[in-house]
A and B are shown apart, each in its own frame.
Chain A
């Protein structure tokens, strides 16, 4: 149980375009999901907390207008990278839990974004 699906796994886009990443909880409902960014051989950096039915909470230094988060249902959160630039190239991961925090968090498989 507790499966989180993330799509796409890899995406290449042109500079200036937008990219949407989906995160779905397949067998549980998640009122909260988390979005992380990870650079090679580094730890996870929390970008934002996605809240179902309300605005996301962004970490300090994360541009809200660049990284749009929508949590329209109890099983789906999306992260849209708007007007992407090469510096946005990274590995993005989502996570959720059926019973936070005691259960621990299940992570999506990640999305490798390359902006050219």
Chain B
């Protein structure tokens, strides 16, 4: 079974600064996908960024980028130029063809003005 660990229950960052959220996972599979989802106070889950395990290049989406270290089973999310609208709970998730999605416990991020 897959496990996803987010070791930072809560984090805060000043507006315009950069913050990195950590995620580690454990799997015996070689072909899988990793995601970061955002859940703002509205509770609508939103896909932030995805990474295919077979791709070495780190995914980027505007201000969001990941640091994917396959050997270390690490998948951190970096948010640059943080905005007030980035305040949310962030979930790291693992999915593969063989298994359903597994979510971490989440990190609550607060962006301070």
A46 to B101, CA, bound (A): 9
Is the C-beta of B97 less than 8 angstroms from some C-beta in chain A? yes
Contact partner of B47 (CB less than 8 A), chosen from A38, A100, A101, A105, is A105
Interface contact B106-A42, CB-CB below 8 Å: yes
Is the C-beta of A107 less than 8 angstroms from some C-beta in chain B? yes
Interface of A toward B, CB cutoff 8 Å:
34, 38, 41-44, 46, 49, 91, 93, 95, 100-107, 109-110
Closest to B95 in A: A101
Known: A42-B105, A43-B106, A102-B52. A107 touches B44 (CB 8 A): yes
A110 to B105, CA, bound (A): 18
Interface of B toward A, CB cutoff 8 Å:
32-33, 35, 37, 42-47, 50, 52, 89, 91, 95-97, 100-101, 103-106, 108
Contact partner of B101 (CB less than 8 A), chosen from A41, A105, A110, is A105
Interface contact A104-B91, CB-CB below 8 Å: no
Interface contact B44-A34, CB-CB below 8 Å: no
Interface contact A44-B91, CB-CB below 8 Å: yes
* B95 partner residues in chain A, CB cutoff 8 A: 100-101, 104-105
* A43 partner residues in chain B, CB cutoff 8 A: 91, 103-106
A-B contact pairs, 17 of them (CB 8 A): A34-B100, A38-B43, A41-B106, A41-B108, A43-B104, A44-B103, A46-B100, A93-B43, A95-B101, A101-B97, A102-B33, A105-B95, A105-B101, A107-B44, A107-B46, A109-B44, A110-B44
